[in-house]
Structure 1
């Protein structure tokens, strides 16, 4: 009995102390300084890694010709000057020293000579523009994310090397930061859209490029663009408490991307394409860094590019902006095959990100180190999984070889190590770890309500969270507070303290993407949601440019099936001008299509894609289109009047990612 009273008294004292701590804490929207725990964590990094090794700095500067035009600044799109603020400075308390060092390497920019015939513009966007000089002109290898950024890169090259005819464009894979800037080629006057459509200008990409680019940048483009805005730090200020670097390059240009349609696809390994007197040898590496990707070798100069499968950093197995999980085992396999295929020949390796490597021995060692990285991720994950560990336990407890993971080129600046281990598990075994309790979990809001009730109220959860925060346990503080925020986002103590905890996690993180996500999440909490975001990969122009085969699945994705179910079942023959004929079977609210003509359709519609999209958006009536002779309708025209209002062609891109969704984003 006496022991019970003592425990109760101790608990009361603890509660009183916690409440006093809450009263003393400064809950507000201001960005905070690094705490003593964060300072200690970051200072410890200096003892763990070899900061005396300056080899990478000499390599990153090698071949420098000239700085970026206008210091790399493009109004409203890119500010390279601001991204260079860390040069020649010691890391501040609010940035992991290892990440700060990497930012110093990749945030510098300009025109560089890689070899006698190969040049790069680095630092104008997240990716590099590589210019390969051929007999009578140039070939561009990857064309950045932003057309405005690409245009500036072209102008820099031409200022120092002269204007040369564009003989071809090679796009290594299906991610927008490698093809989205294609419009800049037209702006620079190097080609016209007709040159691409006719094949006069070869535009080369791996097989599956268009399908995967559409799948990633259009079908999931809205949510990916929103998450990318947080991941790349586009919603953050450029300073030591905000964005430091994009890791693969300074930052992603704050612009819309375009979607070029290649006219030459590499479909088999070892295919050689001659462009203006130079042979390019291609091999396919699908499901590595991108679902559709290829690497290349230029035998004439023993020059190699392994696209984004080889970088001066650990890459993503799963990108936090959202995409298919990548295959770490295949990644290692393709690197190993490249060593066997070109290892005795290669003299220089250049890529669409970071800086080149020169000399056969150095290039091969670089390839082996990166191969070992991805093979270790796969083998370690599967070994621990076979012991019975789940993805979270593997991420926390896996023992890894320091000789692999402490190499500067393998540090997790872009791909977070814990995330990569979890993702490898999920790709191979799924999200479920065998614990049946995981099948019964509630979504955040419902779990939060029950958690707070079981805890005894919101204030007790906040007290416990502040106690964890004051101990430097920002992870558990965040986990506790997320329950309050998910169930009651109006609790300012919970939202502000959760923002402070996320901020400290960001200050300590070595991975730029997770740092940015922590800091962006903190900003959303402090702003109360609706953080602005200008990134877009699924603009109206991109949608209108889709082929019919890609547009039909997109329309099926954005239709409100519950609304469509109420209008009835209809069969529509849809003839798209300058494209194909489709049968639309609107059945049970589901938008089904076939590329054949139905014999007993309710109505047949001949229309252009832009007019179809304008009609479906409710911006023009079918009657007006018919009066202006823009469409042809045979059959029951009234069927078509059911379609406007069923398709959400303007999905908003300001949704919350930490706070609960706003009312206009929630499922009705």
Structure 2
């Protein structure tokens, strides 16, 4: 066994590597330091485009305005802060949406929609059922049981969930939480759980946590293996750097969006709903769960409450178009299966439902309205699948499908509840193509494309050089031809364009953001414009990831190590390791060969060059930086036998991903 004192210096300098192997996956959001450049006003072309969009909007009947305030007990107009005093949510930040007419810098349909979802507070849905909306991106639903409370989806952060529950207690009896339901595996639906329940009560059996089959694996894996990239892209999608204003963020299309500075958490579920349909009685309330894997989330479920005649569609049918592929990044969803699950809910519950709720936006009341809503949502997702394949089978490529699929067919385009406030028809059509056929368009000229910066340099040179292309970008901007200006400006910037070039492209993206109906497209356009003008922001915000780290299985941890191993550095440094978890009674055989890390459960049958023994809790403490590897070895919590220097060298080849990577510039 390695002698501790002999290698103390080496450990002190290299142990941090292991402690940081997970840090990038759970990186904090970014925050700006310097005073940003001021956004510009809407151009004449944008004013004209938004005026045309206003004329093309569906007829207004006032039903949504009444529905969004129906059952309102008290409006929430406060602020939610974290332990550092940093603002997580400020309901007053959206007060600009109270204006009677939309601003020229916001698509009028999006303005109308954001105005509706900015109404925050406590709402009574029906007997025993309340919703807290506008405290975070998602809704938290409260179901009053016989003895306590059943909470559905405790928001993104402990602070927002705690504030929402306290707000509920201002008007309803203060009773204990006896159960929590995670409707699906996205963090805005479970991350605040520690704000409303104590893990000790869960372990003691006083609080049950229900989740669909596969929830724990999906909630962790989606945010780990591509976690750094996904969080960076999510910053663009959510517009977290932007001010809430008529030239900035107006929400996320399915709710308001916080700053990302809250404390996210995860308490593993205690009850798995395997489906396809399961009946449960929770604190005197009868539930029928419908498990819907591979729809809006890999692990998701709806539920029906027969005693209240209420159907909760989770995030499978909300009052907006959703994403078949979310721009932050995820596996492409199955639009056909999604449609079929909605149809199954319509067939099974449509005639027995008086109120339809979801975990975003506001409810739908009345049997006929509910059946129509579900049928429209079903048809919409089926259209994405069928139309994209129809076009693909005519030889249309991914980008051609995106250009052709701009609107929905028939009456769907004329209804607010199927408008593209979150997802878009163009993006969803391309997602279906990707699901079935991949990113390659079958044109051999695209088999081995140049890297963006290399291609951009050649395009700019072929077009006559920097000054000529900059003039073309400005000319296109002046004509309001922003999609072409974006194509030209992108090439100019990636060819090493200076600040003048970046400003020109920023002007382009900003106007596209002002025109789009999708809140998240707006956020992405405006985030790009912001960074082109101001450069990358500096990392900041609250630390996150402890619960996610502890929930990693050893298998997930080794998969993550394999992702983080820098193959270029690890070549010619082959190593065999036996990794033993003494508390779990499990061993894993790891092999580094050809710069690649692989593993299998069990022992290898031959002596390994290094044997590592520890318990899972020690690994978790190292990964959340509560304990250094050196101290763990000194305390006897980690035992190394064999080539300890080889192990330390392996750890030095593990990359720590920087979430502050460039997106709109090379």
Q: TM-score, normalised by structure 2?
A: 0.89
Q: Structure 1, residues 403-453: CA drift from partner, whole Å, max 9, x if none?
A: 112210000000022111111111122222222222242221011111111
CA RMSD of aligned residues (A): 2.3
SS at match of 1:101: helix
SS at match of 1:308: coil
Residue in 1 aligned with 2:266?
259
Residue in 2 aligned with 1:146?
157
Q: Does 1:657 align with 2:656?
A: no
> 249-258 or 199-208: which moved more?
249-258
Gaps of 5+ in 2: 1-35
Q: 1:316 to 1:638 in 2, by over 3 A?
A: same
Q: 1:230 to 1:400 in 2, by over 3 A?
A: closer
Once residues 618 and 508 of structure 1 are traced to their aligned partners in structure 2, the CA distance between those partners, rounded to angstroms, is: 45
Residue in 2 aligned with 1:543?
549
1:157 to 168, 171, 191: 168
Q: 1:444 to 1:575 in 2, by over 3 A?
A: same
Q: Superposition pairs for residues 334-483 of structure 1, below 5 Å? A: 334-398=341-405, 400-483=408-491
1:233 to 229, 233, 239: 239
Is the contact made by 1:616 and 1:645 (CA closer than 8 Å) also made in structure 2?
A: no
Q: 1:90 to 1:549 in 2, by over 3 A?
A: same
> 444-453 or 595-604: which moved more?
595-604
Q: Does 1:597 align with 2:597?
A: no
Q: Does 1:561 align with 2:561?
A: no
Residue in 1 aligned with 2:279?
272
Q: Structure 1, residues 45-97: CA drift from partner, whole Å, max 9, x if none?
A: 12111353211010010000012273667742111110232114310110000
SS at match of 1:239: coil
Once residues 617 and 169 of structure 1 are traced to their aligned partners in structure 2, the CA distance between those partners, rounded to angstroms, is: 26
Residue in 2 aligned with 1:571?
577
> 438-447 or 586-595: which moved more?
586-595
SS at match of 1:309: coil
Residue in 1 aligned with 2:23?
none
Is the contact made by 1:395 and 1:421 (CA closer than 8 Å) also made in structure 2?
A: yes
Q: 1:305 to 1:329 in 2, by over 3 A?
A: same
Residue in 1 aligned with 2:3?
none
Residue in 2 aligned with 1:48?
56
Is the contact made by 1:357 and 1:363 (CA closer than 8 Å) also made in structure 2?
A: yes
Q: 1:605 to 1:302 in 2, by over 3 A?
A: same
> 329-338 or 258-267: which moved more?
258-267
Residue in 2 aligned with 1:607?
614
2:634 to 618, 622, 627: 627
Q: Structure 1, residues 498-523: CA drift from partner, whole Å, max 9, x if none?
A: 00000000000000001000000000
**Cα distance, 1:636 vs structure 2:** 4.4
Q: Superposition pairs for residues 474-493 of structure 1, below 5 Å? A: 474-489=482-497, 491-493=498-500
Q: Superposition pairs for residues 204-223 of structure 1, below 5 Å? A: 204-223=210-229
Q: Structure 1, residues 225-273: CA drift from partner, whole Å, max 9, x if none?
A: 1111111110111110000122111114523422331121111212112
Residue in 2 aligned with 1:301?
308
SS at match of 2:249: coil
Q: 1:452 to 1:531 in 2, by over 3 A?
A: farther
**Cα distance, 1:617 vs structure 2:** 10
Q: Superposition pairs for residues 111-260 of structure 1, below 5 Å? A: 111-185=122-196, 191-255=197-261, 256-260=263-267
How many residue pairs end up in the alignment? 625
| Greater relative CO (CA pairs within 8 A, separation 6+) | 2
Q: 1:446 to 1:619 in 2, by over 3 A?
A: farther
Q: Structure 1, residues 621-653: CA drift from partner, whole Å, max 9, x if none?
A: 7665333222234444444333331223x4222
1:59 to 43, 59, 67: 67
Q: 1:341 to 1:516 in 2, by over 3 A?
A: same
Is the contact made by 1:94 and 1:508 (CA closer than 8 Å) also made in structure 2?
A: yes
Q: 1:108 to 1:461 in 2, by over 3 A?
A: same
**Cα distance, 1:29 vs structure 2:** 4.6
